[in-house]
């Protein structure tokens, strides 16, 4: 499909632009009227054919991707991975959202076709999304790989009485659509709902419910599947996860030492790219100064009695805040690696509003 779409493009201008290095490619699009923020990178053989283009700061569009739209807005730090096909009329994608490898998003050229994706959304590999009748995906939602969301369905002639359905799909904030799931036209997935893998959703799903099957049926409702941890339980889980991160660094051959105090844990990582001090649970203060000036990162827990962002900033300590799921500016490798590691457990962080982030080179 991607090759067919490429062959349908006006060839020479966009082909020549796709061959340019990132910096020249950004300049070429700006010369054509695009609004592109600083730190944005566009990879080799990434095709952007957009009439009205706006890219935020530190956007990464990797190579061998095709984006074609009449109007496109990508927020700060959005990432588009290789092999993505985004071919829509209108699209808005919020800050820190990710389209992973070989995601396909298209629509028929009909009135009402539009795509709206919130902030911190992740669409996993090889998913297929159709925005013909309008598709909305709320912030901090995950769409599992190999999933399909369709806003229209037709094949046999409607003039002979066969069904044809065109209706928008809405996935509200903080929902999780697991892998290999199919959403039919007209459904609404409620806030914090979970759709089990392999499900076929034919009707609305209530907020904070768990559904599964083909067709999907309610397995749990009103958050019955969610067990809210106590502060002690959350602290213990964080210590276990950060210990797992430290153990990973040890397996990579880096020296790790540990220190445990009542209610807090600290790890010192040496001799590696993620060297520094890491801590969780620091009631009444922040991480003490390091005699050798190592990078210091603290995971801040919600609730009174813990170190806060301002205290860390004053002391030169980087932080990852579980209250707002944001991290401080600076984005050292240690801070980014810890954030990415916690993401394996669904704990996703983004840079605090108005703050910069590290930028990787787009490939």
pLDDT tens per residue across span 239-267: 999 999 999 999 999 999 998 877 778 99
Residue 126 and residue 195 share a domain: yes
Give a yes or no: residue 76 inside a domain: no
Name, in order, each residue with C-beta under 8 angstroms of 65's C-beta and a sequence gap of 6 or more. 43, 46, 47, 80, 81, 82, 83, 84, 85, 86
Cα 83 off chain centre by: 17
| Inter-residue contact 263 to 283 (CB < 8 Å) | yes
Residue 280 lies in a domain: yes
Closest CA to 143 of 93, 217, 77: 93
268-287 tens-digit pLDDT = 998 888 899 999 876 544 56
67 is a domain residue: no
Residue 342 lies in a domain: yes
* pLDDT reported for residue 120: 95
**Which range marks the domain in which residue 342 is found?**
231-351
Instruction: Give pLDDT, residue 178.
Output: 97
Query: Same domain, yes or no, for 202 and 253?
Result: no
- Residue where one domain finishes, among candidates 171, 195, 220: 220
Give me the number of domains the chain comprises. 3
Say what the pLDDT of residue 302 is.
Answer: 80
- Say whether both 51 and 111 belong to one domain: no
Same domain, 204 and 297: no
Q: Which 3 state secondary structure label does DSSP give 276?
A: strand
Note whether 124 and 250 are same-domain residues. no
Name the token pair of 273.
Answer: 């790219």
Cα–Cα distance for residue pair 88/82, rounded to 1 Å? 18
Asked if the structure places residue 292 within a domain, the reply is yes
Query: For position 86, what pLDDT does the model report?
Result: 97
Residue 231 confidence (pLDDT): 85
* Same domain, yes or no: 98 and 37: no
Residues 182 and 263 in one domain: no
238 and 327 in a common domain: yes
Q: Are residues 46 and 11 in the same domain?
A: yes
CATH of the domain at 146: 2.160.10.10
Note whether residue 213 is domain-resident: yes
Whether the per-residue pLDDT at 176 is higher than 90: the answer is yes
Residue ending a domain, choose from 190, 220, 250:
220
Indicate whether 90 and 57 sit together in one domain.
Answer: no
**Residues 126, 210 within the same domain:** yes
**Which residue would you say has higher pLDDT here, 343 or 359?**
343
- 72 within some domain: no
Is the pLDDT at 292 greater than 50? The verdict is yes
Torsion of CA 78, 82, 87, 88, to 10 degrees: -20
Does residue 24 share a domain with residue 118?
A: no
Q: What are the two backbone dihedrals, phi and then psi, of residue 201, each rounded to the nearest 5 degrees?
A: -95, 120
Is 305 inside any structural domain?
Answer: yes
């Amino acid at each position: 499909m991607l090759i067919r779409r490429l062959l349908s493009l006006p060839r020479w201008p966009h082909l020549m632009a796709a061959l340019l290095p990132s910096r020249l490619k950004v300049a070429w699009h700006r010369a054509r009227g695009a609004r592109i923020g600083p730190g944005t990178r566009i990879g080799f053989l990434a095709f952007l054919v957009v009439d009205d283009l706006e890219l935020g700061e530190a956007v990464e569009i990797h190579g061998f991707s095709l984006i074609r739209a009449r109007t496109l807005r990508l927020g700060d730090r959005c990432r588009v991975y290789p092999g993505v096909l985004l071919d829509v009329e209108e699209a808005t994608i919020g800050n820190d959202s990710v389209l992973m490898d070989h995601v396909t998003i298209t629509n028929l050229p009909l009135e009402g076709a539009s795509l709206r994706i919130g902030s911190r959304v992740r669409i996993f590999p090889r998913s297929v999304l159709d925005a013909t009748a309008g598709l909305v995906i709320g912030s901090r939602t995950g769409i599992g790989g190999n999933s399909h969301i369709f806003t229209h369905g037709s094949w046999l002639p409607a003039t002979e009485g066969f069904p044809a359905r065109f209706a928008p799909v809405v996935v509200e904030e903080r929902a999780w659509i697991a892998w290999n799931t199919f959403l039919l036209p007209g459904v609404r997935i409620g806030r914090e709902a979970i759709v089990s893998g392999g499900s076929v959703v034919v009707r609305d799903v209530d907020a904070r419910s768990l559904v599964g099957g083909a067709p999907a049926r309610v397995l749990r409702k009103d958050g019955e599947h969610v067990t809210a941890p106590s502060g002690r339980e959350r602290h213990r889980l964080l210590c276990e996860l950060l210990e797992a991160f430290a153990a990973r660094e040890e397996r990579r051959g880096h020296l790790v030492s540990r220190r445990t105090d009542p209610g807090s844990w600290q790890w010192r990582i040496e001799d590696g790219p993620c060297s520094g001090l890491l801590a969780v649970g620091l009631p009444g203060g922040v991480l003490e100064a390091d005699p050798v000036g190592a990078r210091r990162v603290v995971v801040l827990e919600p609730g009174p009695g813990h170190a806060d962002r301002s205290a860390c900033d004053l002391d030169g300590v980087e932080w990852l805040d579980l209250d707002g799921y944001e991290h401080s500016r600076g984005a050292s490798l240690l801070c980014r690696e810890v954030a990415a590691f916690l993401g394996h457990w669904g704990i996703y962080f983004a840079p605090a509003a108005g703050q910069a982030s590290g930028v990787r080179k787009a490939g």
